[in-house]
Amino acid sequence: MALPDWSTIQALKPASLKQLFDQDPARLATLSLDVAGIHFDWSKTHLTSDAVQAFARLAADMGLSARRDALFAGEAINVTEGRAAEHTAERGEGSPESVARARGFHARMRALIDAIEAEALGPVRHILHIGIGGSALGPELLVDALGRDADRYDVAVVSNVDGAALEEALDRFDPQATLIAIASKTFTTTETLLNAESALAWLSGNGVEDPYGRVVALTAAPDKAVEWGVDETRVLPFAESVGGRYSLWSSIGFPAALALGWEAFEEMLEGAAEMDRHFRLTPLDRNAPVLAAFADLYYAQARGCETRATFAYDERLRLLPSYLQQLEMESNGKRVTADGQPVSWPTAPITWGGVGTDAQHAVFQLLHQGTRLVPVEFVGVIEPGHAQGDLHHRQLLLNMFAQGAALMAGKEHQDLARAYPGDRPSSTLLLSDLDPRTLGALLAFYEQRTFVNAVLLGLNPFDQFGVELGKEMARAAEQGGDFDASTSDLIQRAFG
Stretch that binds ligand F6P, among 8-16, 183-191, 275-283, 486-494 (CB under 6 A): 183-191
By CB under 6 A, tell whether 251 contacts ligand F6P: no
What Cα–Cα distance (Å) separates residue 125 from each residue in 108, 152, 214, 405?
21, 7, 12, 46
Pick the closer one to ligand F6P by CB: 40 or 228: 228
Out of 192, 428, 450, 453, the only residue in the binding site for ligand F6P (CB under 6 A) is 192
Binding string, residues 459-488; x marks residues near ligand F6P by CB under 6 A: -----x--x---------------------
Indicate if the alpha-carbon torsion angle 11, 376, 23, 47 is positive or negative: positive
Stretch that binds ligand F6P, among 83-91, 126-134, 263-271, 401-409 (CB under 6 A): 126-134
Pick the closer one to ligand F6P by CB: 245 or 393: 245
By CB under 6 A, tell whether 271 contacts ligand F6P: no
Out of 43, 48, 88, 135, the only residue in the binding site for ligand F6P (CB under 6 A) is 135
How far, in Å, CA of 66 to CA of 451, rounded?
13
Residues with Cβ within 8 Å of residue 172, at least 6 apart in sequence = 154, 156
Check: CB of residue 225 under 8 Å from CB of residue 188: no
Stretch that binds ligand F6P, among 182-190, 266-274, 385-393, 423-431 (CB under 6 A): 182-190
Whether 330 sits among the annotated catalytic residues: the reply is yes
Give the end-to-end CA distance of the chain in Å, rounded to a whole number: 52
Torsion of CA 321, 326, 328, 329, to 10 degrees: 110
Cβ burial of 461 (10 Å; 0-12, 13-18, 19+) is buried
Out of 4, 237, 244, 410, the only residue in the binding site for ligand F6P (CB under 6 A) is 244
**Closest approach of Cβ 67 to ligand F6P, in Å?**
21
Pick the closer one to ligand F6P by CB: 405 or 467: 467
By CB under 6 A, tell whether 134 contacts ligand F6P: yes
Catalytic residue among 119, 361, 412, 478: 361
Count of residues making up the chain:
496
By CB under 6 A, tell whether 233 contacts ligand F6P: no
Listed residue (236, 237, 402, 209) closest to 311, CA to CA: 402
What Cα–Cα distance (Å) separates residue 73 from each residue in 2, 69, 238, 327, 453?
22, 6, 18, 22, 19
Out of 48, 98, 189, 250, the only residue in the binding site for ligand F6P (CB under 6 A) is 189
Listed residue (59, 58, 29) closest to 42, CA to CA: 29
**Closest approach of Cβ 295 to ligand F6P, in Å?**
26
How far, in Å, CA of 40 to CA of 35, rounded?
8
Pick the closer one to ligand F6P by CB: 134 or 375: 134
Indicate if the alpha-carbon torsion angle 263, 433, 442, 37 is positive or negative: positive
Residues at the contact surface with ligand F6P, assessed by CB under 6 A? 132-135, 184-186, 189, 192, 244-245, 330, 464, 467
Q: Give me the active site residues, please.
A: 330, 361, 471
